[in-house]
Structure 1
């Protein structure tokens, strides 16, 4: 049994409710019951439809990005950074392009954090530079170079005309042009409309989707930056 919500471009009426049930039925819900209908202005109606679907799902074909790094406590993160870098880890973050939604980047970067976890500002061995909203790609690259950033976090919420994808691709291309491959910061993209499997397509090292906590980001940064440093030292 599933519950589905959607809006139709029709004034609220019995006919509109019938249309909603018919649409849900054509999407495979049988029976489809309209359990809620509410006018959204004079020309639209919001519906909640409940019913049964009979589609089969092959769980063996589900593809997800599993976490491949250990989750660390703030104390463990600080200790690892201090031991490996002997300086503070520098993270620069921003919402790029015309995106003015800073809730996501602030949840990860600011000390208040998210989901009961403190943000990266809480970590003693992490220097956070939050550039805020509507930052151009050249500005981001310039600030990352000036701060000698170890990692760059980009948050994208606006998705009209695939702006989040285009902006992130532009950002990753700019960093690859501005840095030698072995000196480029770790590039991370995050936002509620990203698919975690898109990292390769976007040209970034990691994509974090909705629900990501500051602790996950901090743990990933430690794993990547400590690993990179060890690899450069050993030449392996």
Structure 2
């Protein structure tokens, strides 16, 4: 190990105890409970204790198991995407857009494919926002177009063209069979085909199951995970579209905070 090492904590420090839940496609009986313990052992829990088992409809059982693992975590080997831009207030965001762009910053948002879960995109875009923060519609210098749910990729591209979008925000909650990854790749490919690099909007996706390190693989500019707030998104938009691309005025204002 190259750096600080930690083990899971359950009853006492460093005892390696973890709790895992899963569902097996078997009816609830003693055999099913034995199967759950066998799986837990193969996952490295030794010894494993079955602490909960509940039928989940015909032919399915939900389990919770508790046990010890011997795995260690090297904290120096952990790779995450750190926030590399200052967190700004709504007033600061509006001021930077006015001085740097000298026009409203256009944002188009949607849930694409068959995804009908608009809670995420609405939390970021709608005025009511989330976690005590107002959504992007609250920012006077941002022009927000929320297309809602189940928007096709061609419809999204066309809306971005019509609205002259500076940024496109896509929320993906449905992840069965990696639908969120397929939809994102389809979207990024469509924008690359429809618009030249210099005129393409910033492509941003968000959702609880995305790996924030996959921007290059998915062909997008930024991935936001669970817990993202409107203020973070607004600050990122200004950082990328005004400070990085807008030249000296925006850079001086942020540097002077």
Q: Taking structure 2 as the reference length, what is the TM-score of the superposition? A: 0.86
Aligned counterpart in structure 1 of residue 229 of structure 2, from 193, 213, 229: 213
Equivalent position SS for 1:43: coil
Task: State how 1:24-173 maps to structure 2 within 5 Å.
Answer: 24-173=40-189
Partner of 1:7 in structure 2?
A: 23
Please list every run of 5 or more consecutive structure 1 residues that lacks an aligned counterpart in the other structure. 232-236
| Deviation for aligned residue 1:103 | 1.2
Q: State the alpha-carbon separation in 1 of the partners of residues 58 and 198 from structure 2.
A: 58
Q: State the alpha-carbon separation in 1 of the partners of residues 96 and 83 from structure 2.
A: 19
| Deviation for aligned residue 1:107 | 1.0
Q: State the alpha-carbon separation in 1 of the partners of residues 127 and 134 from structure 2.
A: 5
Aligned length, in residue pairs: 231
Partner of 1:196 in structure 2?
A: 212
Q: State the alpha-carbon separation in 1 of the partners of residues 202 and 42 from structure 2.
A: 46
Q: State the alpha-carbon separation in 2 of the partners of residues 24 and 124 from structure 1.
A: 53
Q: State the alpha-carbon separation in 2 of the partners of residues 158 and 8 from structure 1.
A: 21
Partner of 2:247 in structure 1?
A: 230
| Deviation for aligned residue 1:142 | 1.2
Q: State the alpha-carbon separation in 2 of the partners of residues 8 and 142 from structure 1.
A: 44
Deviation sequence 1:45-101 (CA, Å, 0-9, x none): 111111111112222221111111111111111111111112211100011122211
Q: State the alpha-carbon separation in 1 of the partners of residues 88 and 180 from structure 2.
A: 29
Aligned counterpart in structure 2 of residue 179 of structure 1, from 180, 187, 195: 195
Q: State the alpha-carbon separation in 2 of the partners of residues 211 and 110 from structure 1.
A: 16
Please list every run of 5 or more consecutive structure 2 residues that lacks an aligned counterpart in the other structure. 1-16, 249-257
Q: State the alpha-carbon separation in 2 of the partners of residues 15 and 175 from structure 1.
A: 52
